[in-house]
Amino acid sequence: MEDKKVMLEVNDLQTTFFTDSGDIPAVDHVSFHVHDGEVLGIVGESGCGKSVTSLSIMGLVPNPPGKVVGGDIHFEDKNLLDLSEREMRKVRGNDIAMIFQEPMTSLNPLFTIGHQMMEAVLIHHKKKGKQYAKDRCIEMLELVELPRAKDLMDEYPHQLSGGMRQRVMIAMALICDPKVLIADEPTTALDVTTQSQILKLIKELNDRLNTALLLITHDLGVVAKTCERVIVMYSGQVIEEAPVDKLFDSPKHPYTQGLIQSVPDVRKKQDRLYSIEGNVPLPGSIHKGCRFADRCKFAFDRCFNENPEFYQTSDVQKARCFLYDKEGAVEHDKALTRS
Amino acid sequence: MLSYTLKRIFQLIPVLLGMTFIVSMLIRAIPGNPAQVILGQQATAEAVQALTEKLGLDKPWYIQYIDYLKGILTGDLGESFRTHAPVVEEIWPYLAATVELAVFAMIIAIFIGINAGIVSAWFQNSWFDYIAMVLALVGVSMPIFWLGLLGQWGFALELNWLPTTGRESVRDPVNAITNFYIIDTIIQGEWGQLKEVIRHLILPGLSLATIPMAIIARMTRSSMLEVMRSDYIRTAKAKGQKMFFVIYKHALKNAFIPVLTIIGLQLGLLLGGAILTETIFAWPGIGRYIYDAIGFRDYPVIQSGILVVAFIFVMINLIVDLLYSFIDPRIKYD
């Protein structure tokens, strides 16, 4: 993995929503990177900042109220945050493409599939002409394994099922050969069978086209099936980063441990499913200290007063928890012996 | 689509029938005998009686109504008590004058209203948005007779840019063919007259456009704000599309259906003859034609005039309904 080129690097990204009830740091000093052809999973529950992170990369954070207030996003020697809107438009859909959670509503209901897909080509390759765009659309529709590709071009989104629409979205996102594809919960709104088909398709296309993939999901099953490396987000921060096998075998952060325990195992008989007690802190109610402290069974004094750093726990794994600070671990042991 | 259209046209029959019935009841509720009004206060009772019989007003009202309906079925809208001319022939120049003014006003209202609404939604809470929406509120609330007078005072009397009243220059009248003066002058290549006709249209057109413009602007804004939050707008942006196309293509088409409804209703109202505007600007339109007929108790003109206006109104709304399915492929009528 080391010899691979870093396609996209996010450093210290901060996106804040300025609302009447106060400033909400939706993305708080988030850093990560994706290699060429790699599948990076971003996991976390609703409201943890996953989607805002992806919209920040695309430069599509709804403004007002949201705004990227700090950090940088490196893509091909450029900092995307320094680009003008005009330059950013050339990146969107062309170098970095995105597919969304809601296939039912993500396509414009009043234009044909063909029109919308051709638009995506023509925005970036106007000179190549309509015939090229049309051929390219049919080629892409076939690539995402949609039957009757030619007929589909003249159909409207409401004539297609959710799974088909998501395939169209994928075809449309990949139509300009983007170097990075951001998939924001691409399978959440689909039924289980369709879900696994779409995931399989995304994975295959990622292998075939060598597109770096940023897969945002709250579903650990999806992560296990698809991703190579995972970052776990909690309350706007990255709290753990690990290769996918390490994440499931030896999760380091107590939150990740909790998440993995919450996945029900059909082979074990359980009366009650495991869940992490408490709730994600409401944005705006964030106090100093570790954001997970209130819900953490290992929490000790320091956790409530200081925000932990991102500690390297092994060559490839990192966790934002004082348990992995040398002093912290000692304090924790002391705390344990006291109780 | 065709069968739906025919069904809808068929449904118009009871609507128009009910309308003629209500109108014929209402005009008989207006006090005053038409024969007396025509002959004047000094007329003898015998003369009034003779004229009443001649006009058929001595028959029971339901006989009169049935006679009137029979006439309509044969394409006869009756004869004016006053001028003795058939209403079918007499009404056309007035109707054409109203249509010309209403269409002119509506084009202004649609063009400015929609764009103001879009820009307000695009830059929501900007100074443009605030000013446009305050103006729209003023536009809806401003009485037309007051606005018309202000326009005449400012642009005609003080600045002397535009004429105060009428459809054409009195010194160089238009030779009417279709009675749509813009079309007539173009056919005849009378460019000087065309310029005059347009100059005469501006003030009444703007006055008449104010209310629909304000309503269209407000409707466009709220509809656009709703649409701009949609997922497919985000998709269009994520493709790298320019904001201008995202808004004028992807968003506007989706936001247009409620706006179209409003446009249809407003156009119907304007075509019904804007009596106030037509009076202030001495515009020889259908509103004034009917209004004058009421003064003379000219029953056939009142009845048929209102019937024509009602017919236009329901037809416009039918056309609007049919247009929905052209805009939105999900709307299917058969």
Is A158–B231 a contact, with Cβ atoms under 8 angstroms apart? Answer: no
Nearest-neighbour CA in chain B from A293: distance (Å): 35
Residue A52 lies in a domain: no
The total number of structural domains that make up chain A: 2
- CA A111 vs. chain centroid, Å, equals 28
Is B235–A100 a contact, with Cβ atoms under 8 angstroms apart? Answer: yes
Residue A10 lies in a domain: no
Last residue of a domain, one of A177, A212, A240: A177
Is B235–A169 a contact, with Cβ atoms under 8 angstroms apart? Answer: yes
Rounded to 5°, angle at Cα A206 from A104 and B235: 30
By Cβ distance, the residue of B239, B254, B328 closest to A92 is B239
Rg over CA atoms, chain B: 24
Nearest chain B residue to A169 by CA: give it: B235
Is B330–A123 a contact, with Cβ atoms under 8 angstroms apart? Answer: no
Nearest-neighbour CA in chain B from A235: distance (Å): 24
Residue A118 lies in a domain: yes
Residue-averaged pLDDT of chain A? 84
Nearest-neighbour CA in chain B from A148: distance (Å): 20
Q: Are B78 and B223 in contact (CB under 8 A)?
A: no
Nearest-neighbour CA in chain A from B253: distance (Å): 7
pLDDT of residue B200: 93
Q: Which residues of B touch A58 (CB under 8 A)?
A: 238
Nearest-neighbour CA in chain B from A145: distance (Å): 22
Q: Which residues of B touch A124 (CB under 8 A)?
A: 240
- Structural domain including A138 reads 103-177
pLDDT of residue B207: 92
Q: Distance from first CA to last CA of chain A, Å, rounded?
A: 44
Interval A275-286 mean pLDDT: 71
**Positions in chain B short of pLDDT 70:** 273, 334
Q: Chain B interface, mutation test: which of A108, A124, A180, most B Cβ atoms within 10 Å?
A: A108
Nearest-neighbour CA in chain B from A105: distance (Å): 6
Cα–Cα distance between A184 and B294 in angstroms, integer?
68
Interstrand relation of A6-19 and A96-99 (parallel, antiparallel or unpaired):
unpaired
Residue whose C-alpha is closest to residue A248's, from A235, A240, A257, A239:
A257
Predicted confidence band at A1 (pLDDT cuts at 50, 70, 90)?
A: very low
Q: Which residues of A touch B230 (CB under 8 A)?
A: 105
Q: Which residues of B touch A91 (CB under 8 A)?
A: 240
Residue A135 lies in a domain: yes
Nearest-neighbour CA in chain A from B107: distance (Å): 25
Q: Which residues of A touch B253 (CB under 8 A)?
A: 108, 110-111
* A5-63 pLDDT tens trace: 888 899 889 898 888 877 888 888 888 889 888 899 999 887 788 888 999 999 888 87
CATH class for the region spanning B87-327: mainly alpha
Residue A73 lies in a domain: no
Residue A122 lies in a domain: yes
SS (H, E, C) chain B: CHHHHHHHHHHHHHHHHHHHHHHHHHHHHCCCCHHHHHHCCCCCHHHHHHHHHHCCCCCCHHHHHHHHHHHHHCCCCCECCCCCCEHHHHHHHHHHHHHHHHHHHHHHHHHHHHHHHHHHHHCCCCHHHHHHHHHHHHHHHCCHHHHHHHHHHHHHHHCCCCCCCCCCCCCCCCCCCCCCHHHHHHHCCCHHHHHHHHHHHHHHHHHHHHHHHHHHHHHHHHHHHHHHCCHHHHHHHHCCCCHHHHHHHHHHHHHHHHHHHHHHHHHHHHHCCCHHHHHHCCCCCHHHHHHHHHHCCCHHHHHHHHHHHHHHHHHHHHHHHHHHHHHCCCCCCC
Is A123–B253 a contact, with Cβ atoms under 8 angstroms apart? Answer: no
Nearest-neighbour CA in chain B from A176: distance (Å): 10
Check whether A336 has a pLDDT greater than 60.
no
Q: Chain A interface, mutation test: which of B125, B228, B235, B256, most A Cβ atoms within 10 Å?
A: B235
By Cβ distance, the residue of A109, A123, A158 closest to B241 is A123
By Cβ distance, the residue of B230, B231, B239 closest to A120 is B239
Q: Across the A/B interface, how many CB contacts are shorter than 8 Å?
A: 67
Is A110–B253 a contact, with Cβ atoms under 8 angstroms apart? Answer: yes
- Residues from B contacting A (CB-CB < 8 Å) are 230-232, 234-242, 250, 253-254, 327-330
Check whether A217 has a pLDDT greater than 70.
yes
Nearest chain B residue to A110 by CA: give it: B328
Cα–Cα distance between A211 and A36 in angstroms, integer?
7
By Cβ distance, the residue of B232, B242, B329 closest to A107 is B232
Q: Which residues of B touch A105 (CB under 8 A)?
A: 230-232
Residue A123 lies in a domain: yes
Is A109–B254 a contact, with Cβ atoms under 8 angstroms apart? Answer: yes
Nearest chain B residue to A58 by CA: give it: B238
This complex has an ipTM of 0.85
Is A156–B330 a contact, with Cβ atoms under 8 angstroms apart? Answer: yes
List the single range of A65-74, A118-127, A208-217, A280-289 with lowest mean pLDDT: A280-289
Q: Are B93 and B285 in contact (CB under 8 A)?
A: no
Nearest-neighbour CA in chain A from B20: distance (Å): 40
Cα–Cα distance between A265 and B258 in angstroms, integer?
51
Nearest chain A residue to B251 by CA: give it: A108
pLDDT of residue A338: 53
Q: Are A247 and A240 in contact (CB under 8 A)?
A: yes
Residue A221 lies in a domain: no
Q: Which residues of A touch B241 (CB under 8 A)?
A: 89, 93, 119, 123
By Cβ distance, the residue of A93, A107, A124 closest to B238 is A93
Considering chain B, tell me which residue range(s) the CATH 1.10.3720.10 domain(s) occupy. 87-327
Rg over CA atoms, chain A: 21
Check whether A328 has a pLDDT greater than 70.
no
Rounded to 5°, angle at Cα A33 from A30 and A35: 165
Is B238–A91 a contact, with Cβ atoms under 8 angstroms apart? Answer: no
